[in-house]
Structure 1
Amino acid sequence: MSVPNTNDAKVQAVISYFKRVDAGDASYLDLFDDNVKFFFPKFGTTQGKNSLVAFGERIGASLGGIWHDIPNFNFIVSGSTIVVEGQEGGRMKDGTVWPDNQVSQGRFCSVFEFSGNLITRMYIYVDPDFPSHDAERILILHRPASEA
């Protein structure tokens, strides 16, 4: 894990966010400013804690569980901004486990901005096709290593 300063309250808040999400603990909302700006692919750009709740409900309707590989996160800290690069995985409601580590890798990058100790912006960059059901794009983009 590349953590610049584990005593940094902002880094600890980000780690706490991921731990709470993995545990299904709604108290993750306590880490956010009331007017937080939020982005997730296909969900769009929104503002406010209510947006986080709506997103959680929508994505939660398709997920049976999620995990983040917190010990292997790569953190980049610049002032009040923390960027996290890592891997996640889980199980869809239909039982499909992801990533498959062939097509899907579960890689993501999230950008957090803070005011004081509260998160004021969280933009998540990830392929939302967790179980690799987007067959058209997979046929276009994915090539096994032997064909690359």
Structure 2
Amino acid sequence: MPSNQAATDEQRKAVVIAYLKAFDNGGTGTDGRSVLDFFAQDAQFFFPKWGLAKGRPEISRLFDDLGPTIKSITHHFWSFNWLTTGTDLLAAEGTTHGEHHDGPWHVGLPEWGGGRFCGVFEVRDDLIQRAFIYMDPDYAGQDTARYPWLDGTRH
């Protein structure tokens, strides 16, 4: 899309969905593009327990660090709640299931476990300029000792 014509919310959502489908597909989009190709050269990406990656080289490093920990992931696109602003910003709240190197996860099993996320995206010129992901990166739910309400007696 030419940069002098603003994208619609649906077009911005389509870019985010294509990126997430590429992530689900091991890093390659349905059109053969690398997951990194969905990002602007100077994009920012925040992921919990990793921090803020600035620019494609750092985003690539983030993916190199995160990728080997995830054996598979499936985003449940049918579950997404979208918050659109009529600007370049939009947010997606959704669910996933998959397998982490620490074990499998599925949203709702247990209810407090992994599988829920919220991502805030800025999409301009058909590229992700900013992606901030908010979720618990303890996919397999092994970090329970530090939380007394997860001792098994209260649920």
TM-score by length of 2: 0.80
Paired residue for 2:25?
Answer: 23
Q: Does 2:44 match 1:42?
A: no
Aligned amino acid, residue 72 of structure 1: S
Correspondent of 2:65 among 48, 58, 71: 58
> Equivalent residues in 2 for 1:1-148 (5 A)?
8-26=10-28, 27-78=34-85, 79-93=87-101, 96-99=103-106, 101-102=109-110, 103-137=112-146, 139-142=147-150, 147=154
Q: Deviations over 1:81-119 (max 9, x none)?
A: 11000011211235x211361141410000001232211
Does the 8 Å contact 2:114/2:141 carry over to 1?
Answer: no
TM-score by length of 1: 0.83
Structure 1 outlier segments of 4+, above 4 Å: none
Q: Distance in 2 between matches of 1:46 and 1:105?
A: 23
Q: Deviations over 1:94-145 (max 9, x none)?
A: 5x211361141410000001232211100000101111111223x424376x
Report the number of matched residues.
140
Q: Distance in 2 between matches of 1:83 and 1:15?
A: 12
> CA offset at residue 7 of structure 1?
7.7
Q: Distance in 2 between matches of 1:93 and 1:42?
A: 16
Secondary structure at the aligned position of 2:23 is classed as helix
| Structure 1 runs not aligned, ≥5 long | 1-5
What is the RMSD of the two structures over their aligned residues, measured on CA atoms?
2.2
